[in-house]
Chain A
Amino acid sequence: MIRYFARRAGHGFLMLFGVSILLFLLFQTAPGDFLSEIKMNSQISPETITMLRAQYGLDQPLPVRYWQWLKSSARGDFGYSFAYNTPASTLLWPRASNTLLLSVPALLISWLIAVPLGVLAAGWKGRWADRLFSGGTSALLALPDVLIALLALLVALKTGMFPVGGMTSINAQDQSTWAWLRDLGWHMLLPVAALVVGSLTIILRHVRASVIEVLESSYMRAAEGHGLPRFKLLFGYALPAAANPLISLFGLSVAMLLSVSLLIEVVMSWPGIGPLLLEAILARDLFVVIGAVMLSTVFLIAGNLLGDVLLYAFDPRIRRQA
């Protein structure tokens, strides 16, 4: 069993390497670099630019730069931000934890709502409750994530009951820990809700579809013929049998949620990785962009690894292969 997970983790590690190499190659082919804008300024001499270029290491060939970055990553710095003049890691860590603060609760809430609702909808298939439900999820699915975030902002503005963006109130520093936590929770509410609404529908529809498929199987009919209670049939028999594709979706939903999260952070000015990444891309702050993308990849791999663990726990057929 440990070997199974070690192998999975090993695959993840190799994937990180692949992604980092790909990122360096992509940036190499993209036009311009951090100094392109300074170059346009006629007051700065070409000599200064050449000097800066050497200082930033941008004159080195690609493999050398990659090697330097690897060494820096091994030290825990993950390269150097040109714009902020600090190691990239000092920018990334706090932003990453802010992003997790949004996406982990959103992930849990989405799944906790989607699984029971999806199973019930499958059990009601064809009745008016299910039709209403399918119509509702289709409508929600058609809403772009940006629109959801903007609607959330609109709610905040119109009602005045919620903070309009940001992570803490201005006077947050002076408050007691308890009050600070409450303030934070208050600020989290709308972005997390927007994230849940954005990701819930897809998960719901998948849960409903895979449970319906299982309900039509011969072993479910047999179980019904054995006179098991309906609740047990749906949650004790159909759900575990339908779990396999859903757990794979869980890994994917982490990636889905992260990409939606980046967008919502920007719209709702949440100081997560999203705004940092946007800023860094515009400024061509190479190592911050690479660091942010690598971090998202780590989240994604972690989500998939968690999915593997769950799959191992749920499906005896996979336990046997492992």
Chain B
Amino acid sequence: MTSGNLGLPKPEPLLRVSALSVDYDAAGGDAVRAVRNLDLEIAGGESVGVLGESGSGKSSLALALMRLLPKNARVASGSIEFHGQSVLGLSPARLRELRGGEVALISQEPALALNPVLSLGKQLADLLVAHAKLARQQVNVRCTEMLRHVGFTDPERILGAYPHELSGGQRQRVAIAQALICRPNLLIADEPLSALDVATQAEILDLLQRLKRDLGLAMLFITHNAGALASLADNIVVMREGETVARGPMGELQATRDDYVQGILFPEKSLANAAHTAPSIESCAPLLEVRGLSKRFVQKRMLSRKEFVVQSLDGIDLSLSAGSTVAVLGRSGSGKSTLARCIAGFETADAGEILLDGNLITTAEKNKGGVLPPVQMIFQDAATSLNPRFTAQQIVTEPLEIARWKTEAERTSRALKLMEEVGLDPDWALRLAGEFSGGQRQRLALARALAAEPKLLIMDEALSGLDMPLQAQMVRLLMDLQSRHGLTYLYISHDLNFISLFAQEVVVMDAGRIVERTTPEKLGQSVHPATRELVEAGERLHAPGVEAAV
């Protein structure tokens, strides 16, 4: 409840969840409890944040509220009341009215929440038609109005467009418009930001805040990122493994001493101690040197002379000294991934040269028996970059096998040692990659990359898929490995998380060019618009006090 109700009688809450438990069927007939005895109240116009790391049961909560739990899950006990009416006992027809009409959900991957083959106008209008009897003319007016409300200046064009014609942020806006077009009283937003780049995240957060104010909307905002809640939520519930560990306004939570709460509010704080041990390198010869690298992609169709040229890299110069960490920042599409792929040898540059230890990379001999490749890369999505049918051991030994490194027994023992080093139990060596969680898979990817004893490790958004506490753990591990093995990191990211802790140099890219070179400390004073955009978006998404913790 919001504080200071001046002695007025406590209003009947919009949503009241009491002692809610959600069970999932697990293999062998057991049930796994995803939500335990959760109590929650939301008053009209109030916003409540639910904060927790992945696996804490917060998405199950959202689905249970909408009665959208998958078939293998059910509400085991407790009650959900909306306007004093039990949601769990609703008839299918009444439930349909509630969904979308009174309670709306923005689900975890909002960009994927739109049907790819139907026009956006139809997808908006269908919702109105399903919930209100309106004439075609009125439907059209309401749709345009709603699209304007979520910030589109040309709603007519959007109505006729299809999802693939919009950017991720635009799709997100349409998904929000869809959720709000029937004027629900409560909006449940389940990780609405996690799939977006940081600048778009800030835009969407602003939008949600404005809509909440304008429409008097109550909101349940589910996230792993405490920063997003700082400006949005009146009250916060912190969840861990299905249980409520703390609740209260942001200020109160920041003052608690609970380790888990502190860890999730200030993921960077846990690294503060390690920070000063980060090496400050003044090495002489650079490990990697990139000179005038250019790459353009030409899209050409059969039997057509028209060409679409995308200048992805435009005269990039970069130099990394051994043992250092350089962060490459930029929005999606700024060319940073292409740069990584060129250095790793997945793409051949059109012009320029890449030198590793003074040798041209293109002339380096490939796949010579016993010689391990000196550059390794970790990708954003470990779930898709590792073969789910391989065991952990197969994944880690594969690069060694390709290089025909020593004997099989030696390869296996090395794999087990590496798994231990990245914090995975070697007993899991025979588990399939698909059985590991997201964070564990990223550790596995790291072990695989380290197997080849690389000099240079490229991380292409390697942490973006993880939630904040896991990111913090990975950063700590990376820093630890760096000091132990003298590794050099090229860290590519669209956000500024942890940059100041483990990068010595920051390079900002925009439209295929390097627009700024600076240090993490001076990043905040930058005047270049591309850099400002990243910095400001980063600040918007950070809880106050995080910077101080660093």
Binding site for B on A (CB under 8 A): 7, 126, 217-229, 232, 236-237, 240-241, 243-244, 314-317, 320
Contacts of B517 on A, CB cut-off 8 Å? Answer: none
* Binary CB contact string for chain B from 87 to 121 against chain A (1 if under 8 A, 0 otherwise): 00000000111111100110111001111111100
A316 touching B164 by the CB < 8 A rule? yes
Taking CB as reference atom, which chain B residue is nearest A238?
Answer: B115
B68 near A: Cβ within 8 Å?
Answer: yes
Taking CB as reference atom, which chain B residue is nearest A217?
Answer: B112
Taking CB as reference atom, which chain A residue is nearest B304?
Answer: A3
A317 touching B162 by the CB < 8 A rule? yes
Within the complex, the shortest CB–CB distance from B111 to chain A, in Å, comes to: 9
Instruction: Given A314-B117, A315-B117, A316-B117, check contact A218 B112 (CB 8 Å).
Output: yes
Contacts of B303 on A, CB cut-off 8 Å? Answer: 7
User: Once the chains are docked, how many angstroms separate the CA of A244 from the CA of B179?
Assistant: 27
* Binary CB contact string for chain B from 169 to 193 against chain A (1 if under 8 A, 0 otherwise): 0000001001100000000000000
B126 near A: Cβ within 8 Å?
Answer: yes
Contacts of A228 on B, CB cut-off 8 Å? Answer: 96, 100, 126-127, 130
B133 near A: Cβ within 8 Å?
Answer: no
B365 near A: Cβ within 8 Å?
Answer: no
A226 touching B117 by the CB < 8 A rule? no
Contacts of A126 on B, CB cut-off 8 Å? Answer: 71
B126 touching A221 by the CB < 8 A rule? no
Supplied contacts A224-B99, A232-B126, A237-B118, 13 more A-B pairs, CB within 8 Å: A219-B116, A222-B107, A222-B114, A222-B178, A223-B115, A226-B104, A226-B178, A227-B127, A228-B130, A229-B130, A236-B126, A314-B117, A317-B117
Within the complex, the shortest CB–CB distance from B134 to chain A, in Å, comes to: 15
B115 touching A241 by the CB < 8 A rule? yes
Contacts of B30 on A, CB cut-off 8 Å? Answer: none
Contacts of B175 on A, CB cut-off 8 Å? Answer: 222
Contacts of A243 on B, CB cut-off 8 Å? Answer: 117
User: Once the chains are docked, how many angstroms separate the CA of A240 from the CA of B119?
Assistant: 11
A227 touching B117 by the CB < 8 A rule? no
Within the complex, the shortest CB–CB distance from B119 to chain A, in Å, comes to: 7
B164 touching A320 by the CB < 8 A rule? yes
Query: What are some 12 contacts across the A-B interface (CB < 8 A)?
Result: A218-B109, A220-B115, A221-B68, A225-B66, A225-B68, A226-B127, A227-B101, A228-B100, A232-B130, A241-B118, A314-B117, A317-B116
Contacts of B68 on A, CB cut-off 8 Å? Answer: 221, 224-225
User: Once the chains are docked, how many angstroms separate the CA of A170 from the CA of B323?
Assistant: 95
User: Once the chains are docked, how many angstroms separate the CA of A226 from the CA of B124?
Assistant: 10
User: Once the chains are docked, how many angstroms separate the CA of A161 from the CA of B433?
Assistant: 62
**Shortest 5 CB-CB distances between A and B: which pairs?**
A227-B100, A227-B99, A226-B100, A222-B113, A316-B162
A222 touching B105 by the CB < 8 A rule? yes
Within the complex, the shortest CB–CB distance from A211 to chain B, in Å, comes to: 13
User: Once the chains are docked, how many angstroms separate the CA of A219 from the CA of B165?
Assistant: 16
B101 touching A241 by the CB < 8 A rule? no
B142 near A: Cβ within 8 Å?
Answer: no
* Binary CB contact string for chain B from 391 to 406 against chain A (1 if under 8 A, 0 otherwise): 0000000000000000
B296 near A: Cβ within 8 Å?
Answer: no
User: Once the chains are docked, how many angstroms separate the CA of A219 from the CA of B175?
Assistant: 10
Contacts of A225 on B, CB cut-off 8 Å? Answer: 66, 68, 99-100, 104-105, 107
B116 touching A241 by the CB < 8 A rule? yes
Taking CB as reference atom, which chain A residue is nearest B178?
Answer: A226
B115 touching A237 by the CB < 8 A rule? yes
A219 touching B114 by the CB < 8 A rule? yes
Contacts of A218 on B, CB cut-off 8 Å? Answer: 107-109, 112-113
User: Once the chains are docked, how many angstroms separate the CA of A237 from the CA of B119?
Assistant: 11
User: Once the chains are docked, how many angstroms separate the CA of A224 from the CA of B108?
Assistant: 14
A316 touching B119 by the CB < 8 A rule? yes
B431 near A: Cβ within 8 Å?
Answer: no
* Binary CB contact string for chain B from 255 to 281 against chain A (1 if under 8 A, 0 otherwise): 000000000000000000000000000
Taking CB as reference atom, which chain B residue is nearest A315?
Answer: B117
User: Once the chains are docked, how many angstroms separate the CA of A315 from the CA of B119?
Assistant: 10
User: Once the chains are docked, how many angstroms separate the CA of A222 from the CA of B179?
Assistant: 9
Contacts of A232 on B, CB cut-off 8 Å? Answer: 126, 130
Contacts of A244 on B, CB cut-off 8 Å? Answer: 117
Instruction: Given A7-B303, A316-B164, A317-B162, check contact A227 B115 (CB 8 Å).
Output: no
Taking CB as reference atom, which chain B residue is nearest A229?
Answer: B130
User: Once the chains are docked, how many angstroms separate the CA of A243 from the CA of B115?
Assistant: 12
In the complex, which of the residues A225, A240, A243 has the most CB atoms of chain B within 10 Å of its own CB atom? Answer: A225
Instruction: Given A228-B100, A229-B130, A243-B117, check contact A317 B107 (CB 8 Å).
Output: no
A227 touching B97 by the CB < 8 A rule? yes
User: Once the chains are docked, how many angstroms separate the CA of A241 from the CA of B126?
Assistant: 16
User: Once the chains are docked, how many angstroms separate the CA of A228 from the CA of B101?
Assistant: 10
* Binary CB contact string for chain B from 122 to 162 against chain A (1 if under 8 A, 0 otherwise): 01001100110000000000000000000000000000001
A229 touching B116 by the CB < 8 A rule? no
A240 touching B115 by the CB < 8 A rule? yes
Within the complex, the shortest CB–CB distance from B301 to chain A, in Å, comes to: 8
B112 touching A219 by the CB < 8 A rule? yes
* Binary CB contact string for chain B from 270 to 300 against chain A (1 if under 8 A, 0 otherwise): 0000000000000000000000000000000
Contacts of B96 on A, CB cut-off 8 Å? Answer: 227-229
User: Once the chains are docked, how many angstroms separate the CA of A244 from the CA of B113?
Assistant: 19
Contacts of A221 on B, CB cut-off 8 Å? Answer: 68, 107
User: Once the chains are docked, how many angstroms separate the CA of A317 from the CA of B166?
Assistant: 12
* Binary CB contact string for chain B from 328 to 344 against chain A (1 if under 8 A, 0 otherwise): 00000000000000000
Contacts of B118 on A, CB cut-off 8 Å? Answer: 237, 240-241
Contacts of A217 on B, CB cut-off 8 Å? Answer: 112
User: Once the chains are docked, how many angstroms separate the CA of A154 from the CA of B147?
Assistant: 64
Contacts of B127 on A, CB cut-off 8 Å? Answer: 226-228
Within the complex, the shortest CB–CB distance from A24 to chain B, in Å, comes to: 28
Taking CB as reference atom, which chain A residue is nearest B95?
Answer: A227
User: Once the chains are docked, how many angstroms separate the CA of A144 from the CA of B66?
Assistant: 48
Within the complex, the shortest CB–CB distance from A267 to chain B, in Å, comes to: 41
Taking CB as reference atom, which chain B residue is nearest A226?
Answer: B100
Contacts of B116 on A, CB cut-off 8 Å? Answer: 219, 241, 316-317
Taking CB as reference atom, which chain B residue is nearest A224?
Answer: B68
Taking CB as reference atom, which chain A residue is nearest B111?
Answer: A218
Contacts of B98 on A, CB cut-off 8 Å? Answer: 227
User: Once the chains are docked, how many angstroms separate the CA of A238 from the CA of B108?
Assistant: 20
Contacts of A223 on B, CB cut-off 8 Å? Answer: 115, 123
User: Once the chains are docked, how many angstroms separate the CA of A268 from the CA of B81?
Assistant: 66
